[in-house]
Amino acid sequence: MHRLITLSFSHYNEKARWALDRFSVPYDEEPYVPLFCSIAVAVATRGRGGTADRTSSRYSTPVLLMDDGRVLTDSTDIMRFAVGSDDSLFLSEEVESLVDHYGDRLGPYTRVLAYWHALRHPGMIEQLAEDNVSRRQAWLFRRLMPLARTNLKRFLNLTEASRDRAMVRVREEFDAAGARLDQNEYLCGDHFTAADLTFAALASPVLCTTPEEGYGAVLPSRDALDTEGRELVEEMRAHPAGQFALRMYAQERRRVLRGG
Ligand SMILES: N[C@@H](CCC(=O)N[C@@H](CS)C(=O)NCC(=O)O)C(=O)O
């Protein structure tokens, strides 16, 4: 069985899970919280990790450890593997470049906004750990959080200026996706593609997409957010591109429920 090492609530990880679930690729998910996920990747890849890029380190998740020994360390590579010879998700160069574009231009900024809000609320990130990983790991994370908080803020460069910049970028991406959707039912025409999957997954942190709506992990509950956080989520959910992302979840995200 393939093993998928995840930062459980992360949107890039959700993109990989969605693709694997959609194409019925069996895998065991090993869900982690921040910091622990990088250690898990370092251990699983014997220190090698993957390739760092503009948005992540060598030890970023998701990582798929395949049962034949191969290791995939990028969500788009995992999506391509899941798709296999079925090319229905990658129909054109336009789809491929949109997948890359959202990976570079949407995912990093929805992540900044999500952490900005999660770390402002006392106890919220610890609650996320409790909702998504084993009790033991959540317990340890809670103990380490007072130290980890500052590192996480520095690693993600969480400042008011970066929050404002992220807000501008996310609105730009939502508006641009909305303009595409004026012409078509999906981002690249009249079929569901990898661009739609990527947009919907990477938009999730600002939509607080729930497991009931199809998200493959637990994000903060909207009720737990303060006014600024709630206004952000309401704005993004009401936006045509936000509505579209939620519709993609309703129509296209087949969850695989695993026992145990
Ligand atoms: N390009 C990567 C980005 C993945 C990424 O940024 N993962 C984050 C979670 S949102 C992570 O694991 N960060 C920890 C790290 O980079 O050390 C992909 O699409 O797989």
Q: Which of 157, 247, 159, 171 is nearest to 206 (CA)?
A: 171
Tell whether 231 is covered by a domain. yes
Atom of ligand 1 nearest to the CA of 16: 20
Tell whether 182 is covered by a domain. yes
Same domain, residue pair 76 and 110: no
Q: What residue's CA is closest to ligand 1, atom 1? A: 74
Q: Which of 49, 202, 23, 212 is nearest to 111 (CA)?
A: 202
pLDDT at 256: 60
Tens-digit pLDDT profile for residues 119-155: 988 899 999 999 999 999 999 999 998 888 888 888 8
Per the rule left: phi > 0, alpha: psi between -120 and 50, beta: everything else, 244 is alpha
pLDDT at 255: 63
Q: Report how far ligand 1's centroid is from the alpha carbon of 183 (Å).
A: 32
Same domain, residue pair 216 and 124: yes
**Widest pairwise Cα distance in the chain:** 51
Tell whether 260 is covered by a domain. no
Contact in structure between 109 and 101 (CB atoms under 8 Å):
no
Residue at token pair 């999957």? 197
Q: Which of 61, 72, 77 gets mutated to test ligand 1 (max ligand atoms within 8 A of its CB)? A: 61
* Domain final residue, candidates 83, 101, 116: 83
Same domain, residue pair 246 and 121: yes
Q: Report how far ligand 1's centroid is from the alpha carbon of 57 (Å).
A: 7
Contact in structure between 162 and 168 (CB atoms under 8 Å):
no
User: How far is CA 166 from its chain centroid?
Assistant: 16
| Stretch 100-121: mean pLDDT | 95
Tell whether 258 is covered by a domain. no
Same domain, residue pair 129 and 246: yes
The better pLDDT of the pair 257, 220 is held by 220
Decide if pLDDT at 5 tops 90: yes
Q: What residue's CA is closest to ligand 1, atom 12? A: 60
> How many distinct structural domains can be found in the chain?
2
Q: Residue 214's domain is classified under what CATH number?
A: 1.20.1050.10
pLDDT at 258: 55
Same domain, residue pair 19 and 75: yes
Point out the least confidently predicted range of 84-88, 144-148, 192-196: 84-88
Q: Report how far ligand 1's centroid is from the alpha carbon of 56 (Å).
A: 5
Same domain, residue pair 178 and 218: yes
Q: Report how far ligand 1's centroid is from the alpha carbon of 182 (Å).
A: 31
What distance in Å separates the CA atoms of residue 178 and residue 65, rounded to the nearest whole number? 36
Same domain, residue pair 186 and 103: yes
Q: What are phi and psi of 187, to 5 degrees?
A: -65, -30
Tell whether 88 is covered by a domain. no
The bridge status of strand 27-32 relative to strand 71-72 is unpaired
Same domain, residue pair 113 and 66: no
Same domain, residue pair 14 and 58: yes
pLDDT at 260: 39
Q: Report how far ligand 1's centroid is from the alpha carbon of 76 (Å).
A: 11
Tens-digit pLDDT profile for residues 41-59: 999 888 877 778 777 788 8
Q: Report how far ligand 1's centroid is from the alpha carbon of 11 (Å).
A: 9
Q: How many residues does the chain have?
A: 260
Same domain, residue pair 66 and 129: no
Domain ranges, residue 74: 2-83
Decide if pLDDT at 238 tops 60: yes
Question: Encoding tokens for residue 201?
Answer: 């997954």
Atom of ligand 1 nearest to the CA of 75: 20
Mean pLDDT of the chain: 92
Cβ atoms within 10 A of the Cβ of 161, count?
Answer: 9
Q: Residue 52's domain is classified under what CATH number?
A: 3.40.30.10
Tell whether 152 is covered by a domain. yes
The pLDDT > 70 percentage for the chain reads 98
Tell whether 73 is covered by a domain. yes
* Domain final residue, candidates 56, 83, 110: 83
Half-sphere exposure of 70 (CA within 13 A, CB side): 6
Same domain, residue pair 106 and 69: no
* Domain final residue, candidates 48, 64, 83: 83
Tell whether 192 is covered by a domain. yes
Question: Encoding tokens for residue 81?
Answer: 């593997």
Point out the least confidently predicted range of 85-99, 104-118, 219-233: 85-99
Same domain, residue pair 111 and 235: yes
Atom of ligand 1 nearest to the CA of 37: 12
What distance in Å separates the CA atoms of residue 113 and residue 68, rounded to the nearest whole number? 38
pLDDT at 257: 54
Q: Which of 14, 56, 153 gets mutated to test ligand 1 (max ligand atoms within 8 A of its CB)? A: 56
Using 50, 70 and 90 to split pLDDT, how confident is the model at 259?
A: very low
Q: Report how far ligand 1's centroid is from the alpha carbon of 55 (Å).
A: 7
| Stretch 84-111: mean pLDDT | 91
Q: Report how far ligand 1's centroid is from the alpha carbon of 83 (Å).
A: 21
Where does ligand 1 bind, in terms of residues with CB under 6 Å?
Answer: 7, 10, 12, 37-38, 53, 55-57, 59-62, 74-76, 103, 111
